[in-house]
Amino acid sequence: MGRFSLFASLLLAADGALGAKWIGEVKKVDGTEYQCKCYSDNACWPTNKDWETLNKTVNGQLQLAIPPGAVCHKSLGNSSVSVYDAAKCKDTQANWLNEQWLTDHPIANLWPFSTNNTCLPTDDPSSPCTRGFYGNYVILAKTKDQIKAGVNFARERNLRLIIRNTGHDFMGRSTGFGSLIINTHSFKDVNFVQKYNGPGNWTGSAATVGAGVQGRELYRQAFAQSPKVVIVGGECPTVGWAGGYIQGGGHGPLSGIYGMGADSVLSFDAITAEGKYVTANAKENSDLYWALKGGGPSTFAVVTSITVKTFPEIPTAGTILNINSTHTNDSATFGKAFHIFHNLSNHYSNHGMFVYFEQGPGLGRLHVAPFVGPNMTETQLQGVLKPLYDQLNAAKIPYDAYTRSFPTFFEFYIDMFEDEQPNQNSIVGGRLFSQSDIAQHGDKIADALLFASMPEPTQLGFNVGHIVNPGYGVPKVDNAIHPTWRNASSFVISNVIMSGTESWAVRKDRESFNTNVVGKALRDVSPSGASYVNEGDLNEPNWQQAYWGSNYARLLKIRSKYDPNGVFYTQTTPGTENWSVIDYGTKLCKKASK
Ligand SMILES: Cc1cc2nc3c(=O)[nH]c(=O)nc-3n(C[C@H](O)[C@H](O)[C@H](O)COP(=O)(O)OP(=O)(O)OC[C@H]3O[C@@H](n4cnc5c(N)ncnc54)[C@H](O)[C@@H]3O)c2cc1C
Ligand SMILES: *[C@@H]1O[C@H](CO)[C@@H](O)[C@H](O)[C@H]1NC(C)=O
Ligand SMILES: *[C@@H]1O[C@H](CO)[C@@H](O)[C@H](O)[C@H]1NC(C)=O
Ligand SMILES: *[C@@H]1O[C@H](CO)[C@@H](O)[C@H](O)[C@H]1NC(C)=O
Ligand SMILES: *[C@@H]1O[C@H](CO)[C@@H](O)[C@H](O)[C@H]1NC(C)=O
Ligand SMILES: *[C@@H]1O[C@H](CO)[C@@H](O)[C@H](O)[C@H]1NC(C)=O
Ligand SMILES: *[C@@H]1O[C@H](CO)[C@@H](O)[C@H](O)[C@H]1NC(C)=O
Ligand SMILES: *[C@@H]1O[C@H](CO)[C@@H](O)[C@H](O)[C@H]1NC(C)=O
Ligand SMILES: *[C@@H]1O[C@H](CO)[C@@H](O)[C@H](O)[C@H]1NC(C)=O
Ligand SMILES: *[C@@H]1O[C@H](CO)[C@@H](O)[C@H](O)[C@H]1NC(C)=O
Ligand SMILES: *[C@@H]1O[C@H](CO)[C@@H](O)[C@H](O)[C@H]1NC(C)=O
């Protein structure tokens, strides 16, 4: 740790924003001076008595944060906390790939790379277990007042604060070393109305959705209404809806006809960094309303519920297509097939479709599951896909495809979407290809994606693609989402596969590879493209422009109005320019202003 030097632990606050008692360490990294949040090895860390007081304020909902694998270990770090429980360890091992089980856990992160993998559910109880990049305490909030108490405590005591909803985030933004975590998973209320009469011009049906509600349970409740309705949500059953998803923008199977998830939002209820309850909509706090719709998660406020437009159910058709080793083992044939498939992105998306695909050598080559045809019959969908089949047939490429139609979107969704497998280790990146990029550089884009899935013979990757144009059905909306989403054609997440046990140096090397080799290849072929803050690279160059384009300047102003002192933090969100997690991924610190 030679690069870092600690030269004072109690200094006066430079900006006067914090009480002098709660000043963290001052650290110097490569000549830059940082002032840190308070951590457990600092004098400003709350005493046991302080934690007890907080626990009383939150009605006993404060717990020590225990990593999910800890029940398989004799001890957690150096602490005397007894964590081993043979039965719970078996249960954890059995549920390690169960998304719902993991999202129900108080702090688990589903993509363990960001937790540092220091406490896995091993068969050897004497092996070490430490918190790694998990937090220290968690409030399992049951009421808004408990969330507010947590925000106030973190702000007053200068602690790293983490809002954790499902722990689903690919980018690890719901975990943070040494933090106080607020878990919002219990906020499950949903209330449907047939006629919205709040601010704005919408008089159709709507729903108010609690912060902890997850994708499939929301779709299920919408389907149970009379008449049945749909809501724009993600493809994954367990992703939170009113947490990170909406605040990042949110794409999904119905985005081709109804736009991004955030485009449908009518109103937010939230708690600010100052611990104030606010409503944000067209009439009240309209700047916050605008920013919460796509401006970045954990940036402007803690959202407690969202009121959103609902739409009538529609018939939906879907197609599943495979091209894999049952069909060909020839890379050139497969490459040709992928070019044909992906080059038609503008065609699919300009029929209001959403196309979910997985591609890579380890993923059976190309698995499209599914093509979504909203408001289409089987015949209509097959008509739209005819150019694809014609081109594959003309090139003599073998494939399997089948199409089915359903009376409703929900029945289609349950039948044709598959669950993902959590607890895989990879470094994530991604790129949004615009309509004009696909039209002008479609072949180069396909080549870059093939490269991203196998950038080196020994370095495998995989891509998860979402072909959709949210601007097709909803061409103009005033919110924080990158304007390029209105001309989108294909958004692809790239993954550099890791084992999760690499040294820090190897991690840094692979992160750089992800950004400067894989990411660069994708950026180079998409001059009018963008990136997606919820499924992107934490080291994205020029991230302000890449994630928000012309909306960034306004977001920065709104951030400095609602959270000037950095109560909230996740990497690459508006206003975090002077903040860094230093000391090998541990301490969150701010560049000292001179
Ligand atoms: C398997 C998988 C599938 C996905 N599918 C889609 C998809 O179809 N479409 C899409 O757009 N995205 C998708 N995503 C990305 C998803 O939108 C983000 O991971 C999102 O951040 C998840 O939000 P969460 O609240 O469920 O997760 P969490 O990991 O709990 O939180 C993510 C971020 O949101 C913040 N946050 C959570 N709740 C609140 C709150 N109430 N107030 C303020 N900040 C909050 C957290 O602090 C954190 O920064 C997918 C991700 C995965 C892993
Ligand atoms: C908070 O109080 C509850 C109820 O008394 C208790 O079960 C829990 O262990 C306490 N949390 C901490 C961190 O001590
Ligand atoms: C555990 O204790 C040892 C010796 O006191 C110390 O060096 C080490 O940093 C501690 N580790 C943690 C994770 O607290
Ligand atoms: C993170 O993992 C690395 C590599 O195993 C290890 O050297 C480091 O101590 C870990 N840090 C924490 C805080 O767990
Ligand atoms: C409502 O509609 C009017 C007239 O079309 C428009 O000027 C106004 O901006 C709209 N308000 C909102 C909140 O969309
Ligand atoms: C591809 O290779 C696998 C493994 O050798 C084999 O089982 C499969 O039949 C091959 N596929 C074709 C189309 O030849
Ligand atoms: C992809 O599209 C471009 C532009 O429309 C076209 O020139 C090219 O031939 C297409 N390639 C394939 C493989 O379809
Ligand atoms: C490969 O394609 C076949 C035929 O469609 C399908 O049954 C199989 O599940 C596919 N394999 C993978 C790994 O996707
Ligand atoms: C669905 O299609 C029908 C018939 O073509 C049309 O009247 C209706 O407006 C469409 N609905 C949507 C939401 O696009
Ligand atoms: C996006 O498309 C709209 C029309 O839908 C067009 O007016 C606009 O110029 C396009 N923007 C870009 C960046 O291509
Ligand atoms: C970062 O710090 C510099 C120097 O103090 C300041 O000029 C700049 O406004 C800060 N940026 C943000 C986004 O806070």
Residue 395, CA distances (Å) to 122, 213, 334, 340 in order: 49, 46, 11, 9
Residue 318 pairs with which residues in a beta bridge?
372, 404
* CATH architecture type of domain 316-548: 3-Layer(aba) Sandwich (3.40)
Cα(307) to centroid(ligand 10), Å = 29
For the chain, what is the mean pLDDT?
A: 95
User: With a 6 A CB cut-off, is 500 part of the ligand 4 pocket?
Assistant: no
Section 112-118 average pLDDT: 96
For the chain, give every residue range classified as CATH 3.30.43.10.
Answer: 4-183
Please tell me the predicted confidence (pLDDT) of residue 19. Answer: 54
List the residue whose alpha carbon is closest to atom 1 of ligand 3: 78
Provide the residue count of the chain.
594
Q: Record the pTM.
A: 0.95
Residue 138 and residue 157: Cα distance in Å, rounded? Answer: 15
Cα(170) to centroid(ligand 3), Å = 30
Ligand 8 neighbours by CB, cut-off 6 Å:
322, 324, 326, 364, 367, 400
For the chain, give every residue range classified as CATH 3.30.465.10.
Answer: 190-312
Cα(339) to centroid(ligand 2), Å = 57
Residue 371, CA distances (Å) to 298, 400, 467, 500, 526 in order: 32, 13, 9, 32, 23
CATH number of 4-183: 3.30.43.10
User: With a 6 A CB cut-off, is 329 part of the ligand 6 pocket?
Assistant: yes
Kindly identify the ligand whose nearest atom is closest to the C-alpha of 320: 8
For the chain, give every residue range classified as CATH 3.40.462.20.
Answer: 316-548
- Taking 60 as the threshold, does the pLDDT of residue 435 lie above it? yes
Quick one: pLDDT band at residue 2, thresholds 50, 70, 90? very low
Please tell me the predicted confidence (pLDDT) of residue 16. Answer: 43
Please tell me the predicted confidence (pLDDT) of residue 361. Answer: 87
Q: Which two tokens stand for residue 509?
A: 């090397």
Number of H helices, E strands in the chain: 18, 23
Please tell me the predicted confidence (pLDDT) of residue 20. Answer: 62
Residue 529 and residue 484: Cα distance in Å, rounded? Answer: 7
- Left, alpha or beta for 477 (phi > 0: left; psi -120 to 50: alpha)? beta
Please say whether the beta carbons of 27 and 11 come within 8 A: no
Assigned fold of 190-312: 3.30.465
Quick one: pLDDT band at residue 80, thresholds 50, 70, 90? confident
Residue bearing the bigger pLDDT, 272 or 476: 272
pLDDT tens, position by position, 13-34:
444 455 567 889 999 999 999 9
Residue 585: CB partners within 8 Å, gap ≥ 6?
Answer: 116, 133, 177, 504
Q: Is 590 helix (H, G, I), strand (E, B) or coil?
A: strand
Give the DSSP letter of residue 57: H
Section 252-266 average pLDDT: 98
Kindly identify the ligand whose nearest atom is closest to the C-alpha of 484: 10
Please say whether the beta carbons of 213 and 187 come within 8 A: yes
β-sheet with 365-374: strand ranges across: 400-406, 316-323, 365-374, 354-360, 461-467, 488-497, 426-434
Cα(339) to centroid(ligand 8), Å = 19
Q: Is 469 helix (H, G, I), strand (E, B) or coil?
A: coil
